[in-house]
Amino acid sequence: VYGVHVSDFWEDPLPHLREVRRVLRPGGRLVLGYCAEAPSRSLEQGLAAAGFRAVRSESADRLTWTTAA
């Protein structure tokens, strides 16, 4: 699953992250991109709460990519 700036529109991201986790095939990966100087710790915590285990974020040039499996 790939999304850019979608998390900006989620008032409460947890239900959306849980749904992505539910429909993601085994071994699948979620990739979210958003404008930020640094990774969103609340997004990373939400991914963990939704059941994602391998969460990683990288930032460069005011763009952050967060991946989760």
pLDDT tens figures, 42-62: 999 999 999 999 999 999 999
Answer yes or no: are the C-beta atoms of 63 and 25 closer than 8 Å.
Answer: no
Instruction: Assign 1 a pLDDT band (cuts: 50, 70, 90).
Output: very high
Q: Rounded CA gap, 48 and 25, in Å?
A: 17
Q: E strands within 1-69?
A: 2-4, 30-35, 55-60, 63-68
pLDDT on residue 39 = 94
Let me know the angle formed at the C-alpha of 68 by 64 and 69, rounded to the nearest 5 degrees.
Answer: 160
What is the number of residues in the chain? 69
Q: Note the pLDDT of residue 65.
A: 97
Q: Within a 10 A sphere around the Cβ of 15, how many other Cβ atoms?
A: 12
